[in-house]
Amino acid sequence: MGDTLETLKSDLFAAPFCEGLEDTHLEVLLACAHEERMPKGRFLFHEGAAADYFYIIVSGRVGLELNCPNRGGLSIQTCDAGDVVGSSWLIPPCIWRFDARVLEECRLVSMDAAVLREHCKADPTFGYAMVERIAQVKAERLDAARLQLLDLYGNPEEGRHVARTRID
Amino acid sequence: MFILEPDGFEKILDSLREKGYRITGPKLRDGAIVLDTIDSAASLPRGVRDHQGPGRYRLEETGDDSWFSYTLGSDSWKKLFFHPIKPLFKTTRDGGLLQIEPEPPREGLKALIGVRPCELQALAIQDKVLAEGEFVDRHYVASRKGTFIVAVNCTVPGGTCFCVSMGTGPVADRGYDISLTELGSNGATRFVARAGSPHGEELLAAASSGKAGESDLQLEAELLEAAAGNMGRSLDVEGLAAALAESGDHPRWEEVAERCQACTNCTMACPTCYCHTVEDSTDLTGSVADRTRVWDSCFTADHSYLHGGSVRETRGARYRQWLTHKLSSWHDQFGGSGCTGCGRCITWCPVGIDITEEAQAVRGTARG
Amino acid sequence: MSPEPGSINLTDRIRGGVDPMVPRIYNVERIRRNNHDTFTMELNPADGGNPEPFSAGQFNMLYIFGVGEIPVSISGDPVQDGPLMHTIREVGTVTRAMARLKPGDSIGVRGPFGSHWPVELAVGTDVVIVAGGIGLAPLRPVIYQVTGNRSRYGRMVLLYGARAPKEILYQRQLKAWGGSFDMDVHVTVDRGERGWNGEIGVVTGLIRRAPLDRSGAIALICGPEIMMRFSAQELLRRGMDKDRIYVSMERNMKCGVGLCGHCQYGAKIICKDGPVYRYDDIESLLGRREV
């Protein structure tokens, strides 16, 4: 049992999400953390369900997908070791916006977000630290989404997305 | 220092012609000074001066028979060496196989008569760009070789001249075979002449009417000093290159864009602008294709075209590119300014945009 | 009496007696499709000689009879003898005409021109290659050079972003490199598709997780300008030094030898002192509008 706790602790604390957190905050997170393994193909969560937990990937790969009738699950982004899967738990209405599907068998730290939310409300310093980290995750995804939207590797002769002033 | 009389001037032209030089000099045509082949000193304009201002050029008679009271027309000597249109090679296709026949560079003796000091600097600048780097333009080098230059110092600067600011005039100090300063008029035109090469020395020794006297040199100095004080424009170049390098976001570029027509006149008239493109054309049989080098301008949309669009889409950006290249990045690239202060870009701009005014405005309130 | 004037002293200094403006004729040996709009052309000189030697990152001006001429980076092996290789994307008139060439057809080649990737700086240290789209092509010579003399270099990491799985270049080679145990290969795509179990996301995301020895490693980036900016910033955030990051720039080119004025980028002349620049050398220009 001790071994498992030690592994969980080192997996959790090694994640970029925990970088720079105070010890007391780390203890709070550890108390809400569980080690999980998920086989390929399993869904971590589905769009529309209550976001009462989230994951930190220790190893493996998870795809964030939107399901589209007749096209199946459209993958928006993949998450790999060190990445946080799920940020809706901190942002009302705390409902998942995507499906998360395991693409390669995963070892995960799952976090009890319902409890963490209560901690956030009770301790604004802790709450701020969580918001800061989730904002970081959101900002990186937004940057990435913007770059994807630009279709940088597309043929510039086709579909020019950016408004331009043409003269001559 | 020699004194050269009109008949001595003619003798120099004769002797150059005898040696096989093709002589080019200023001529009066269609109400403007142009550079063209001249037969004798009699082909040179006499008794005219120009009035130049932003977007303005007008000739008027001086009422005397002065030889060089005008300054520059719109064309510069660069057309003789950096040809506006130059075939580079011809490709013939036989099936899928190609054969390339390069255009041989053409040499030829050329004599330039009446080259102004700022123009000597312009030639030196184009030499630096096209003939003195790691790679050279063979056609430029070939046509520039064997050039004999008779320079004329400026005693009557034009309204858009600012060679004094750029340190290129009004007196020629190098880059010539013979330099002349016109003294007096009203039937008494003569020149103080200096040799800048052994060939120039040889011609002068044979054609001059003797050494210049103390009073001639005194008069020459006075005329040239007066000319230096009589520039139509000025530009403070102290720290200018550095200030312009930091001027990328200055609102003045957008303001000038409201007037700029992107007509390319400034770049065509500029004696140092060297941008060129290549054009490929095929004959009707589809078996012969020609590659031609032609003058280009940074004011066109194609100049900065990268698949999908132009890098510099706005006129403001193109004007900024042109001006900052001339007065700033040219220093980084070629170790000196790309501007000679000749003023052509001001005179021949259809809306009278003035490089000295724009540079000053951008520098005056330069922002990072 | 010599008619040579004293005022100028110009010499016709042509490297190796070759006018850099006149192409050498090469024959197409083979054309291989890389994806729906990209192909790799193998060329040998029509005169039976060897292709010009080049350094990784340099480019040639390729001329198609009567259509035009464009700069294209060399994508082959700079060390081993072999045909000249260019990986080309069909985006314009000239490249579309090139795609229609058949083995035995000939084209004109001028070059190689420009600066090269500083592979010599990577000896004894880690190399991180960050490529986006067709930007992998100018970096492939680096991979050849490093893998051809693997023990001279430290860890080799290749981070590659493509538009979609079927647009990934050099797929077989990527798999071989990735499976070779002494090279980390990470590929991500902007858009996944059915059957793709690899990564989806941008190449900057790969940098975030890449195993990097921050001290000493060199990073070589090539791709669309925005991708290079974001990648360099991510590398800097990860602690890399500005003077260890290199990028390859692109502008309109007509002569390839610094004479025509088209490829100016601020005070830089990309065909001559680029296309490969150290990041801090052009940092102040990157992202500036219409430069």
| pLDDT (tens digit per residue) in B251-283 | 999 999 999 999 999 999 999 999 999 999 999
Can you give the pLDDT at residue C17? 62
Nearest Cα residue in chain B from A168: B301
Interface contact C190-A155, CB threshold 8 A: no
Give CA separation, C156 vs B149, B356, C52, C79, C182, in Å: 60, 53, 28, 18, 7
Q: Which residues of C touch B296 (CB under 8 A)?
A: 254, 260-262
Mean pLDDT of C115-128: 93
| Residues 6 or more apart in contact with residue C120 via CB below 8 angstroms | none
The answer to whether C245 touches C235, Cβ cutoff 8 Å, is yes
| Residues 6 or more apart in contact with residue B74 via CB below 8 angstroms | B32, B34, B57, B269, B344, B347, B348
With a cut of 60, say whether residue C16 has pLDDT above it. no
C-alpha–C-alpha distance, residues B166 and B310, integer Å: 32
Confidence of residue C10 (pLDDT cuts 50, 70, 90): low
> Can you read off the two tokens belonging to residue B258?
């409201």
| Nearest CA among B114, B118, B264 for reference residue B180 | B114
Position B152 in a domain: yes
C-alpha–C-alpha distance, residues B175 and B181, integer Å: 15
Confidence of residue C180 (pLDDT cuts 50, 70, 90): confident
> Can you read off the two tokens belonging to residue A76?
């928006």
Query: What's the pLDDT tens digit per position in B182-223?
Result: 997 666 889 999 999 999 999 999 999 999 999 999 999 999
| Nearest CA among B87, B86, B67 for reference residue B78 | B86
Interface contact A168-B262, CB threshold 8 A: yes
B165 and B63 housed in the same domain = yes
Give CA separation, C145 vs B146, C54, C55, C151, in Å: 48, 12, 10, 11
Interface contact B301-A164, CB threshold 8 A: no
Interface contact C190-A153, CB threshold 8 A: yes
C-alpha–C-alpha distance, residues C49 and B259, integer Å: 55
Which backbone phi and psi does A125 adopt, to 5 degrees? Answer: -65, -45
C-alpha–C-alpha distance, residues B28 and B241, integer Å: 37
B137 and B53 housed in the same domain = yes
Q: Which residues of B touch A166 (CB under 8 A)?
A: 301, 313
Query: What's the pLDDT tens digit per position in B297-340?
Result: 999 999 999 988 899 999 999 999 999 999 999 999 999 999 99
Query: What's the pLDDT tens digit per position in C258-280?
Result: 999 999 999 999 999 999 999 99
> What is the full DSSP assignment across C211-273?
---TTT-EEEEESSHHHHHHHHHHHHHTT--GGGEEEE-----SSSSS-SSTTEETTEEHHHH
| Residues 6 or more apart in contact with residue A123 via CB below 8 angstroms | none
C-alpha–C-alpha distance, residues B9 and C150, integer Å: 74
Mean pLDDT of B338-358: 98
b/e per residue B278-317 (b: at least 16 CB within 10 A): bebeeeeeeebbbbbbebbbbbbbebbbbeeebbbbbbbb
Whole-number mean pLDDT of chain C?
A: 91
Q: Which residues of B touch A168 (CB under 8 A)?
A: 262, 300-301
Smallest CA–CA separation between C94 and chain B, in Å? 11
- B269: number of CA atoms within 13 Å, CB side? 19
Nearest Cα residue in chain C from A79: C199
B18 and B123 housed in the same domain = yes
Mean pLDDT of C160-170: 96
Number of compact structural domains in chain B: 2
Q: Which of B207, B228, B249 corresponds to the end of one domain?
A: B228
Beta-carbon contacts below 8 Å between B and C: 182
Q: Which of B198, B228, B258 corresponds to the end of one domain?
A: B228
Smallest CA–CA separation between C84 and chain A, in Å? 25
Can you give the pLDDT at residue B307? 84
Can you give the pLDDT at residue C214? 62
Confidence of residue B286 (pLDDT cuts 50, 70, 90): confident
Position A166 in a domain: no
Q: Which residues of B touch C251 (CB under 8 A)?
A: 304, 306, 311
Give CA separation, B91 vs B46, C26, C109, in Å: 48, 13, 13
Interface contact A160-B309, CB threshold 8 A: yes
- Residue ranges making up the domain that contains C128: 119-248
Nearest Cα residue in chain B from C68: B280
B343 and B197 housed in the same domain = no
Any CB–CB contact under 8 A between A157 and chain B? yes
Mean pLDDT of B104-113: 94
Can you give the pLDDT at residue C212? 74
Mean pLDDT of B103-111: 93
B83 and B171 housed in the same domain = yes
Position A75 in a domain: yes
Smallest CA–CA separation between B106 and chain A, in Å? 36
B217 and B282 housed in the same domain = no
Torsion sign over Cα B9, B12, B17, B23: negative
Q: Which residues of A touch B313 (CB under 8 A)?
A: 164-167
With a cut of 70, say whether residue C14 has pLDDT above it. no
The pairing of strands B56-61 and A43-45 is unpaired
Confidence of residue C120 (pLDDT cuts 50, 70, 90): very high
- Out of A106-115, B227-236, C14-23, pick the least confident: C14-23
- Angle, CA of C134, C189 and C250, to the nearest 5°: 25
Interface contact C91-A155, CB threshold 8 A: yes
3-state secondary structure A70-97: CCEEEEEEEECCCCEECCHHHCCCCECC
Q: Which residues of B touch A160 (CB under 8 A)?
A: 308-309
Q: Which residues of C touch B303 (CB under 8 A)?
A: 252, 262
Question: E strands, B72-208, where?
Answer: 85-94, 97-102, 110-115, 147-152, 178-183, 190-195
Please indicate if the annotation marks C222 as binding a ligand.
no
Position C244 in a domain: yes
Per CB distance under 8 Å, which residues of C are interface residues toward A?
37, 89, 91-92, 132-134, 161-163, 167, 188, 190-192, 194, 196-202, 204-205, 208-209, 223-224, 226-227, 230
B218 and B248 housed in the same domain = no
- C218: number of CA atoms within 13 Å, CB side? 21
C123 and C95 housed in the same domain = no
| Nearest CA among A54, A51, A50, A14 for reference residue A32 | A54
The answer to whether B180 touches B207, Cβ cutoff 8 Å, is no
| Nearest CA among A9, A16, A32, A14 for reference residue A132 | A16
DSSP conformation class of A59? E
Q: Which residues of A touch C94 (CB under 8 A)?
A: none
Query: What's the pLDDT tens digit per position in C194-218?
Result: 888 899 999 999 998 887 776 789 9
- Residue ranges making up the domain that contains A66: 2-150
Any CB–CB contact under 8 A between C9 and chain B? no
Number of compact structural domains in chain C: 2
**CATH code: domain of residue A92:** 2.60.120.10
The answer to whether B24 touches B39, Cβ cutoff 8 Å, is no
Position B234 in a domain: no
Q: Which residues of C touch A147 (CB under 8 A)?
A: 190, 202, 204, 226-227, 230
The answer to whether B353 touches B259, Cβ cutoff 8 Å, is yes
Q: Which residues of B touch C91 (CB under 8 A)?
A: 307-308
B77 residue type, one letter: W
With a cut of 80, say whether residue C86 has pLDDT above it. yes
Interface contact A156-B307, CB threshold 8 A: yes
Position A160 in a domain: no
- Residue ranges making up the domain that contains B360: 240-364
Whole-number mean pLDDT of chain B?
A: 94
B281 and B163 housed in the same domain = no
Can you give the pLDDT at residue C7? 44
Smallest CA–CA separation between C273 and chain B, in Å? 10
The answer to whether B299 touches B267, Cβ cutoff 8 Å, is yes
Any CB–CB contact under 8 A between C238 and chain B? no
Which backbone phi and psi does B356 adopt, to 5 degrees? Answer: -70, -40
Can you give the pLDDT at residue B172? 96
When CB atoms are compared, the residue of A76, A104, A147 closest to C200 is A76
Using CB atoms, which chains have 3+ pairs under 8 A with C?
A, B
Query: What's the pLDDT tens digit per position in B18-35?
Result: 999 999 999 999 999 999
Task: Give the orientation angle of helix A23-31 with respect to helix A124-150, to 10 degrees.
Answer: 80
Q: ipTM score here?
A: 0.90
Q: Which of C113, C140, C168 corresponds to the end of one domain?
A: C113
Smallest CA–CA separation between B174 and chain C, in Å? 7
Can you give the pLDDT at residue C210? 82
Q: Which residue matches tokens 């980290």? A: A133
When CB atoms are compared, the residue of B262, B300, B313 closest to A164 is B313
C56 and C176 housed in the same domain = no
Interface contact B100-C12, CB threshold 8 A: no
Position C1 in a domain: no
Can you give the pLDDT at residue C15? 55
Cα torsion at A28, A34, A40, A44 (round to 10°)?
-60
Confidence of residue A157 (pLDDT cuts 50, 70, 90): low
Position B235 in a domain: no
Interface contact A147-C37, CB threshold 8 A: no
With a cut of 80, say whether residue C1 has pLDDT above it. no
B83 and B221 housed in the same domain = yes
C125 and C238 housed in the same domain = yes
b/e per residue B209-221 (b: at least 16 CB within 10 A): eeebeeebeebbe
b/e per residue A39-78 (b: at least 16 CB within 10 A): eeeeebbeeeeebbbbbbbbebbbbbbeeeeeeebbbbbb
Any CB–CB contact under 8 A between C258 and chain B? yes
Which backbone phi and psi does A107 adopt, to 5 degrees? Answer: -110, 130
Position C185 in a domain: yes
The answer to whether B59 touches B31, Cβ cutoff 8 Å, is yes
Any CB–CB contact under 8 A between A154 and chain B? no
Does residue B195 or residue C180 have the better pLDDT? B195
Instruction: Work out the percent of chain B whose per-residue pLDDT is above 90.
Output: 90
C-alpha–C-alpha distance, residues B34 and B72, integer Å: 8
| Nearest CA among C128, C204, C220 for reference residue C161 | C204
C-alpha–C-alpha distance, residues C158 and C179, integer Å: 12
Can you give the pLDDT at residue B270? 98
Using CB atoms, which chains have 3+ pairs under 8 A with A?
B, C
Cα torsion at C260, C261, C262, C266 (round to 10°)?
160
Interface contact A153-C89, CB threshold 8 A: no
The answer to whether C214 touches C240, Cβ cutoff 8 Å, is yes
Nearest Cα residue in chain C from A72: C194
The answer to whether B151 touches B169, Cβ cutoff 8 Å, is no
Can you give the pLDDT at residue B368? 41
Interface contact C5-B321, CB threshold 8 A: no
C82 and C145 housed in the same domain = no
Coil vs helix vs strand at B13: helix
Can you give the pLDDT at residue A165? 42
Mean pLDDT of B230-253: 94
Interface contact C205-A156, CB threshold 8 A: no
Position C146 in a domain: yes
Number of compact structural domains in chain A: 1
**CATH code: domain of residue C230:** 3.40.50.80
Coil vs helix vs strand at B175: coil
Smallest CA–CA separation between A158 and chain B, in Å? 8
Q: Which residues of C touch A63 (CB under 8 A)?
A: 192, 200
Mean pLDDT of C172-189: 92
DSSP conformation class of B156? S
Q: Which of B205, B228, B251 corresponds to the end of one domain?
A: B228
Can you give the pLDDT at residue A72? 79
When CB atoms are compared, the residue of B177, B198, B275 closest to C260 is B275
Residues in chain A: 168
Any CB–CB contact under 8 A between C48 and chain B? no
The answer to whether B132 touches B336, Cβ cutoff 8 Å, is no
Nearest Cα residue in chain C from A15: C209
When CB atoms are compared, the residue of A75, A77, A153 closest to C162 is A153
Query: What's the pLDDT tens digit per position in A7-48?
Result: 999 999 999 999 999 999 999 999 999 999 999 999 999 999
C-alpha–C-alpha distance, residues A93 and B177, integer Å: 87
Confidence of residue C181 (pLDDT cuts 50, 70, 90): confident
C-alpha–C-alpha distance, residues C241 and C204, integer Å: 17
Using CB atoms, which chains have 3+ pairs under 8 A with B?
A, C
Can you give the pLDDT at residue B94? 86
